[in-house]
Amino acid sequence: MSLEDKELTYFDRNAPTHEIVPVENGFLAVSDDALLSLDLSSNSVTQISTRFNPPDYEKKVYLVQLKDKSIIMVHRVLINENGKSVTKSFKLYQLTAEKNWTRKRSLGDETLFVGGNSSISVTASDIEGCKPDSIYFVRDGEGSFGTRAWRYDHGVYDVYMGTISQFPISDSNLMKKTRQPPIWVSPTFQL
């Protein structure tokens, strides 16, 4: 779809779609079983790769395009802690030129922001206070009805160290008060 389009393009797929990211000439989508290319110029859907099937405890999947245009699949690892499902870690996989997934252990100077509305990559050194080689995350609201998991399951995952730190206290307090899941906002325009 572009700003000039007068109609919506319908994407019909039997398997649930977990994430869709814009790329040149269309979108990439990750479903339960495959990575798909949605080409807007030809209105076609093509399977690029089978999805790397994670163990059952890696429930949530995100798709992110890095600054170098490479594609990363992010698996969120959840555990049960005191009756609550919480994030334990993340695993990263990069799509190779051969259309296979290979484990990625560092983001370098890039930082990911993942959540239910979108997943984005930024260059950490361009944003004051942003930690490089990290994943900022908020809970997307999945889980038991009414639990508002985003109130307690959010933070910053250090990819190299494999540790999670919490948001500053003031931000955590705001998260506890909200009734809606938080979203990431990334301005793409310049004034």
Question: What Å distances lie between residue 39 and 12, 24, 99, CA to CA?
Answer: 14, 9, 17
Record the pTM: 0.80
When comparing pLDDT for 189 and 86, which is higher? 86
Return all residues near 172 (Cβ < 8 A) that are at least 6 apart: 154, 166
- Cα–Cα distance for residue pair 173/189, rounded to 1 Å: 30
In sequence order, what DSSP letters do the residues of 130-158 get, joined into one string? Answer: PPSSEEEEE--S-SSTT--GGGTSEEEEE
* Radius of gyration for the chain, computed over Cα atoms and rounded to the nearest angstrom: 17
Over residues 129-138, the mean pLDDT reads 92
In terms of DSSP bridges, do strands 71-81 and 84-95 run parallel, antiparallel, or are they unpaired? antiparallel
Return the pLDDT at 118.
Answer: 75
pLDDT computed for residue 174 by the predictor: 62
Residue 100 has pLDDT above 60, yes or no: yes
In tens, the pLDDT along 17-49 reads 778 888 887 888 887 778 888 887 777 888 888
Go through the chain and tell me how many residues it has: 191
Q: How far apart are CA 124 and CA 130, in angstroms?
A: 5
Nearest to 111 by CA among 92, 97, 96: 92
Residue with the bigger pLDDT between 37 and 112: it is: 112
Lowest mean pLDDT among 76-80, 99-103, 130-134: 76-80
Please name the amino acid found at residue 165.
S
Query: Average pLDDT in the 56-60 region?
Result: 64
